[in-house]
Structure 1
Amino acid sequence: MKNFIKIVPLVAAMALVSCKKDQTADQLIVQEETALTPPQSVEDAQAEMVQAAQSKPLTNIALSEAQFDFGKIKKGDQKEHVYEVTNTGENPLIISQVKPGCGCTVPDYTKDPILPGQKGKITLKFDSSNFDGLVNKQAEVYANVEKAPIVISFSADIQPK
């Protein structure tokens, strides 16, 4: 029994030493992440886009037209229209973004700076598959002009197949 009493503390000490936890394995590795911005309201996001567009020296723009009518088209037709833009100012015109009102419209635009007196293009491609009757769609053009965004639009009378 005396030997047992001597062995118990020895066994306990060995158990503690042999089961020693590897501290490095349990350490939490924390990496710095870039701060996520909280969700913005539509107005805040639009104001941010305007500010980004206007961060370059301002210029002036002239559109060939601000509104286009496709007339009667068959449901499911995919149509596109090119709006011509002219830089009428003294600084390069930079179109930073064209934001359509919905997913049925896909924009394409001149990405390079448009020099004073030169022309660029904004193309809106419309898929009429999900519409019937008269539709009016628009897109906002963000550029380094005083009154951004510029709104361009189109209409169509969608007929059944």
Structure 2
Amino acid sequence: MKNLVKLLPVVAALALVSCKKDQSAEQIVTTDSLAVASEPATAVASEPVSTAPTTTVALSESTFEFGKVKKGEQVEHIYEVTNTGTNPLIISQVKPGCGCTAPDYTKDPIMPGQKGKITLKFDSGNFDGLVNKQAEVFANVEKSPIVIGFTADVQP
């Protein structure tokens, strides 16, 4: 803090020296502040985008019902994915809605006519009652992400 106080007169002096005849130090500070504020914002990371040719996919189901689950129990369900298109299906990411759900999926390209798997593992430890969770599946399909989900009735 003491160093900042010592630097303040130096900064003010530099601003005065660098002024044009028709500008005051206040105008320079205002102009510099605007220049900083008008810089372009840093890009925010976006969702994964596949550059592979698109294909089509069929899911065994988009939602699954676990039914009654004892609190603290860990359950999982496997969703079967079939490549119904003419190009290889590439699943680039499965993004669950929260940390209670852990995904796993076929990492290798799924050839036309072949099947792959997406597994969602649910930890019921922090829940009571009805739970509805979803995950987004990013793949080289026209309408990505594909949303899959499950419900569970967590019992004490």
Supply the distance in 1 between the matched residues of 2:67 and 2:86 (Cα, whole angstroms).
37
Provide the rounded CA distance (Å) in 1 between the counterparts of 2:46 and 2:123.
26
Instruction: Please name the residue that 2:94 is paired with.
Output: 98
Aligned length: 116
Q: For the residues of structure 2 that align with 1:103 and 1:73, how far apart are their CA atoms? A: 18
Larger Rg: 1
1:133 maps to 2:134: no
Q: Does 1:45 align with 2:46?
A: yes
SS in 2 for 1:103: coil
Secondary structure of 2:126 counterpart = coil
1:65 aligns with 2:61: yes
Structure 2 residue matching 1:129: 3-state secondary structure: helix
In structure 2, what residue type is equivalent to 1:75?
K
Query: What percent of counterpart residues are identical?
Result: 73
Correspondence list, 1:2-151, <5 A:
38=42, 40=44, 45-46=46-47, 49=48, 52-53=49-50, 55-151=51-147
Q: CA deviation at 1:112?
A: 0.2
TM score, norm. by length of structure 1: 0.70
**RMSD over equivalenced CA pairs, Å:** 1.3
Give, in angstroms, the shift of residue 39 of structure 1: 6.4
Q: TM-score under structure 2 normalisation?
A: 0.72
In structure 1, runs of 5+ residues without a counterpart are: 1-36
Give, as a single letter, the amino acid of the residue that structure 2 aligns with 1:66.
S
- Alpha-carbon distance in structure 2 between the residues aligned to 1:59 and 1:89: 5
Q: Aligned partners of 1:120, 1:107: CA distance in 2, in Å?
A: 14
Deviation at 1:38, TM superposition (A): 3.5
SS in 2 for 1:89: coil
Residue ranges of structure 2 left out of the alignment (5+ in a row): 1-40
